[in-house]
Structure 1
Amino acid sequence: MANTQSPSLKRSLSLHHVVLFGLAFMAPITVFLTYGVAAASTGGMMATGYAIALIVMLFTAYSYGMLVKEFPIAGSAYTFTQKGISPHLGFLVGWTIILDYIFSPMISALLIGLTLSAYFPAVPMAVWIISFIAIVATLNILGIKIAANVNMCLVLLQILFIIVFIALSLKGLLAGMGTGTLISLTPVYDPNVNVSSLMAIIPLLCFTFLGFDAVTTLSEETRKPKQTLPKAIFLIPIIGGFLYIVVSYFAHMIYPDLLSFHDPETAHLELFSYIGGNLFGSFFLVVSITAGLASAVASCASSARILYAMGRESVFPRKVFAYLSPKFNTPVFNILVIALIALSALFLDVATATSLINYGALFAFTFVNLAVVVHYYIRKKQRSFNGTILYLLIPLTGAFFTAYFWAQLDIHSMILGTAWLACGFVYLWYLTKGFKQAPPELHFEEVEQASQTMHTGS
């Protein structure tokens, strides 16, 4: 019988696709871009700072892993809070996390535009930005498998760069450069470093781990999502954290004089010139451009699927946001909407967009942790000794950390983020006719049934 069913998201991603997709979102070489500022704040103890940030993020990763087993459908924090706590709160969480995903491609486009304009001043920055966004949108429209494969190559290039950096650092240390030794406790513990200064930089370092959460938006395109996604959610921060810690350690060992950097924001360029000359710096330029592309492709794919989940539930106009291309099985209209928003890179600055991202991510993380408590500990009454640890203490610890760091955001972030949240509250009031109705909700059983019908129909 001919297949007359409407198009659906296709399960085509394996574990390695999902892990590399998350790492692409993280862009591992961001450890170099934040090195100067973070190293100055931590007194060189960045390795310890990243270790602390990794532990903090693993609590939230644990909660994502628990909830994706229960609700393996597109939507990420929006779906988890909606079904774990309440539809109204889920909407507000989804509204704020949209900031995280939708503005990420814009930031990548802006950074690429600024970088290439500096090297090729004759070409207007707008040309670079528009071309970059067009490539990102095209890769996402062609299909998640193609986007994932492209990202896999780009992430492997970043890892290659990190390996070369470590090799050059080892060569330099053995030749007497830097500390002249391979082993030292200074990058890990320095009694002269103030603990409060170290802890103050943790929120910035936590943001470099964003990526494990993004892969939950691929639930309906991943094979065996209940088994694959929890593994990926843990592997992504662990692999990324390992790379960050190792790079930070060797960076401090090879260039321990942090005060000699001319500009903390470009300290990585001085570091590269010191150990590898201009050629290594040029290599970094190429890798940073590909990293921006990989991150933008990943964040565009994630945000498109959050909009798809909300459109499918008629939170947003269904005909637009729940539409899938019959040919590519991708949410084409959502991708184009995100591309249009990314064009704001032509007139916005990085500081404004980054403020919105920070607010949305930590706000959403807090409620994902709380959703584990509500769903498992309160509703399912899993209150044995093990249940109390797994479904109460661990997620509450994660909620405490993320709420604490959310409260530490600067006033600029809080004002912009709260204003966006207020707009979401007003729209929710309109959508539910003054909170007299529940927001539209799609049940997992409907998704599974539609998916099975699609894949068995012939």
Structure 2
Amino acid sequence: MNIFRTKPIDSLIEETKNDGGLNKVLGTFGLTMLGIGAIVGTGIFVLTGVAAANYSGPALVISFIIAGIACACSALCYSEFAAMVPVAGSAYTYGYTALGEFWAWIIGWDLVLEYAFAIGTVSIGWSGYMDNILSSFGINLPHSILTTPFEGGIINLPAVCIIAVITFIHVIGVKQSTTVNNIIVVIKLAVVVMFIALGVNHVNTANWHPFMPYGFGGVVQGASVIFFAYIGFDAVSTAAEEVKDPQKDLPRGIILSLIVCTVLYIAVSAILTGMVPYLKFKTTAAPVAFALQSVGYHWGAALVSVGAICGLTSVLIVMMFGQTRVLFAMSRDGLLPKMFGHVNRRTKTPVRSTLLVGVVTSVVAGFLPINIVSELTNIGTLCAFMIVAAAVLVLRKKDPERKRAFKCPWVPTIPILAIVFCAALIYKLPYVTQIRFVIWLILGLIIYFGYGYKHSVITNDVDNKSA
């Protein structure tokens, strides 16, 4: 079995020109907003408090810098591939061209894990914020429709409802979904800037001491936790097939979105830990709103809650976008049933794969508690980042003459740093998460050898030539 057979870049690009391809409507601005939409959300509104209280303390700034460096190295690797292989599928497609079908499947399966569970996690968080907002207006939803059977309820109905809305937005068209995303991103960025403007005058430097209460090991572990905050820039590359000028727009969109979000994260984390002693964040799941309340800005806290809803909504839009495009690419290659690679002629969107993602993630969000659905997201992403970095090194060796509109600088140093940083963050994740990830991979291998290899487009091409 030739499981390491690769797919030529030229044939991949040719496939995108066939009838039934995706609609090219995105430019640099749309891609940058797509990236910011995915990145600024759960991390800044929820995980900052978790990481500060339990791992990093005031050194949360350093944790964000470490996670940001790991992502920056990975982003440069992604940018080289995105400009060179402007095809839907992101890391999955890059792995197919450089490392072969087996590694492509592994990456694709990792991305399925990342996006599906991230959508579930964020929608559950969205449900919690919406319940708080409704409660402030005197509307109290029954506990049974806010919690899962594991928590004594029936179903997390608000989480299911928001996924249904996002699914509908994606079904009707990419242009419509990016327009909604752009509006939401502007709102949540305004809320973040408002927090910075209000909070900077209430920073008490005494709250920064001790700066590193859990030691440097705690800072690194904090980085592995808040790495979730950066997940999303890779979703920009999943839109490659729908970009007007991918050679220029994709690298710009990936890098600009990461720069903007890193600057915001560092500013917010420094102000947050300066406003409130880090241990107080143990008692809240909304640290940004909590900090404003602590200094008397109750109206500001209310606006932050609205911003959090907007932030989480835009994350859901981009995460579902990424998930459907990965499934679309894997289905088109035959590794998953072909029906999910179908593009609707009227909307120019992969409606079937979108509906599949909507149904599966609704079940995850509606019936599983957040601790189960959130643990596996980071490790799947980190693994995919490592494989993409390795793919850059391999393709530079195998095909050095190929034209690269954007070249990752300082190769092999940058890809090697990406691998090392991501491996270190995986090592710092809980042991039980690592075990669950191995089980997920084993399930993926069963599907690949039982279905994917036999139905692969490459396998069928070889069989047809032999006949």
Report the TM range for the smaller structure's normalisation. 0.7 to 0.9
Instruction: Assess if the C-alpha contact under 8 Å between 1:39 and 1:258 holds in 2.
Output: yes
Partner of 2:31: 18
One-letter amino acid of the structure 2 residue matched with residue 9 of structure 1: L
CA drift of 1:7 comes to 2.7
Q: Matches of 2:446 and 2:88 in 1, distance apart? A: 25
Match of 2:270 among 249, 269, 272: 249
CA drift of 1:204 comes to 1.6
Instruction: Assess if the C-alpha contact under 8 Å between 2:28 and 2:249 holds in 1.
Output: yes
Q: Matches of 2:212 and 2:439 in 1, distance apart? A: 42
What does 1:22-101 align with in structure 2 at a 5 Å threshold?
A: 22-28=35-41, 30-40=43-53, 41-101=55-115
One-letter amino acid of the structure 1 residue matched with residue 95 of structure 2: T
Q: Residues 242, 28 of structure 1: CA spacing in aligned structure 2 closer, same or farther, 3 A cutoff?
A: farther
Match of 1:296 among 316, 332, 348: 316
Q: Matches of 2:456 and 2:397 in 1, distance apart? A: 25
Note the alpha carbon deviations across 1:153-183, whole angstroms, 9 max, x for none. 111111111111112123445xxxx349xxx
What does 1:311-330 align with in structure 2 at a 5 Å threshold?
A: 311-318=331-338, 320-330=339-349
Q: Matches of 1:66 and 1:238 in 2, distance apart? A: 17
Match of 1:352 among 355, 365, 372: 372
Q: Residues 281, 371 of structure 1: CA spacing in aligned structure 2 closer, same or farther, 3 A cutoff?
A: same
One-letter amino acid of the structure 2 residue matched with residue 418 of structure 1: V
Say whether residues 1:164 and 2:194 are aligned partners.
Answer: yes
Instruction: Assess if the C-alpha contact under 8 Å between 1:109 and 1:342 holds in 2.
Output: no
Query: What is the DSSP-based 3-state SS (H/G/I as helix, E as strand, rest coil) of the residue aligned with 1:7?
Result: coil
CA drift of 1:198 comes to 1.3
CA drift of 1:432 comes to 6.0
Instruction: Assess if the C-alpha contact under 8 Å between 1:91 and 1:428 holds in 2.
Output: yes
Q: Matches of 2:409 and 2:75 in 1, distance apart? A: 16
Partner of 1:129: 159
Partner of 2:239: 218
TM-score by length of 1: 0.85
Instruction: Assess if the C-alpha contact under 8 Å between 1:304 and 1:335 holds in 2.
Output: yes
Note the alpha carbon deviations across 1:162-220, whole angstroms, 9 max, x for none. 111112123445xxxx349xxx9x59x94766222212211122221111111111001
What does 1:167-186 align with in structure 2 at a 5 Å threshold?
A: 167-172=197-202, 178-179=204-205, 186=208
CA drift of 1:372 comes to 0.4
Q: Matches of 1:325 and 1:420 in 2, distance apart? A: 31
Instruction: Assess if the C-alpha contact under 8 Å between 1:106 and 1:341 holds in 2.
Output: no
Note the alpha carbon deviations across 1:312-343, whole angstroms, 9 max, x for none. 1111111x211111111001111111110121
Partner of 1:449: none
Partner of 2:356: 337
Instruction: Assess if the C-alpha contact under 8 Å between 1:314 and 1:440 holds in 2.
Output: yes
Structure 1 segments of 4+ aligned residues over 4 angstroms from their partners: none
Instruction: Assess if the C-alpha contact under 8 Å between 2:289 and 2:302 holds in 1.
Output: no
Query: What is the DSSP-based 3-state SS (H/G/I as helix, E as strand, rest coil) of the residue aligned with 2:251?
Result: helix
Instruction: Assess if the C-alpha contact under 8 Å between 1:75 and 1:306 holds in 2.
Output: yes
Note the alpha carbon deviations across 1:411-446, whole angstroms, 9 max, x for none. 22122211111111112212366xxx794359xxxx
One-letter amino acid of the structure 2 residue matched with residue 96 of structure 1: D
Q: Matches of 1:324 and 1:370 in 2, distance apart? A: 32
TM-score by length of 2: 0.84
- State how many pairs are aligned: 420
Q: Residues 360, 262 of structure 1: CA spacing in aligned structure 2 closer, same or farther, 3 A cutoff?
A: closer
One-letter amino acid of the structure 2 residue matched with residue 155 of structure 1: V
Query: What is the DSSP-based 3-state SS (H/G/I as helix, E as strand, rest coil) of the residue aligned with 2:412?
Result: helix
One-letter amino acid of the structure 1 residue matched with residue 66 of structure 2: I
Partner of 1:238: 259
Instruction: Assess if the C-alpha contact under 8 Å between 2:79 and 2:408 holds in 1.
Output: no
Match of 1:400 among 396, 401, 420: 420
CA drift of 1:270 comes to 2.7
Note the alpha carbon deviations across 1:335-383, whole angstroms, 9 max, x for none. 111110121211111122112212211111110000001001344389x
Say whether residues 1:148 and 2:169 are aligned partners.
Answer: no
Partner of 2:120: 106
Q: Matches of 1:205 and 1:131 in 2, distance apart? A: 27
CA drift of 1:29 comes to 6.3
Say whether residues 1:208 and 2:208 are aligned partners.
Answer: no
One-letter amino acid of the structure 2 residue matched with residue 68 of structure 1: A
Runs of at least 5 residues in structure 1 that lack an aligned partner in the other structure: 443-458
Q: Residues 388, 273 of structure 1: CA spacing in aligned structure 2 closer, same or farther, 3 A cutoff?
A: closer
Matched-pair identity in %: 23
Partner of 1:447: none
Q: Matches of 2:409 and 2:200 in 1, distance apart? A: 43
